[in-house]
Amino acid sequence: MTGRLGGSVALVTGASSGIGGATGRALAAQGAVVALLARRADRLDELVKEIEAEGGRALAVPCDITDREAATAAVRRTVDTFGRLDIVVNNAGSMLLGEFAGAPAELSDRMVAINVNGLLNVSRAALPYLVAAAAAEDGRGVADLVNVSSVAGRKAVAGGAVYALTKYGVVGLSEGLRQELAGRRVRVTVVEPGAVQTELADHLAPEIRDRILTGMDYTPMDPGDVAEVIVFATTRGRNVAINELLVRPTGQLL
């Protein structure tokens, strides 16, 4: 398969559905070999078959990224299998909404574990390989670290305080890493989607999900819309870095 990312190796977390799955397909369509990370092995296997049917190459890597050793092993397996790592998309996330005072602590802990610690685990393991890929003579002369935050990383709302905490953190980390890595030609991009039709809402309490849907007078984006944004950022010329991308459905105000 040829494309603007031919010869590159990408790793995508949260790849079993939603934005992660769509991003895996989109990067593969641009010629990247893709390692797909998530906990649901059966979903990953289906996606690998789909990508291979279209002429691409992909590897299913079942993994719980909240486990630091497991995340490190998943990154290492990717590099051992394909020889390099050029693009990392930290997409895995959890959105468990509810008023802070009444919500079980386990919900907050879960969001912090996935949205923050999981992203840290993967990034820490991947960065040496991204730096090496950017410096390699047989590559693009640049590597990409893409962190998926949220519009909630710009504006907190009642009932989403802890979720906003995690997503504001992703934005702050991304800017710090951008400054640390720019001189080594590793581009850091933070993507901040608004409402997207994914499985995130399926994990909400029914009364919270119903309240959100009742107040939604616009159509959420498709996961593929966000995947296209990620592909746009990672296919720019080596001297162009897209550092931040906020993308909302046309009708979304907040």
3-state secondary structure 23-90: HHHHHHHCCCEEEEEECCHHHHHHHHHHHHHCCCCEEEEECCCCCHHHHHHHHHHHHHHHCCCCEEEE
In contact, 77 and 102? CB cutoff 8 Å: no
* E strand spans, 86-156: 87-90, 143-148
Q: Which of 129, 163, 168, 218 is catalytic?
A: 163
Catalytic status, residue 129: no
Q: What tokens appear for 247 in the block?
A: 């993308």
Helix (H) or strand (E) holding 244: strand 244-247
Work out the number of other CB atoms within 10 angstroms of the CB of residue 161. 17
Would you name the residues annotated as active-site residues? 163
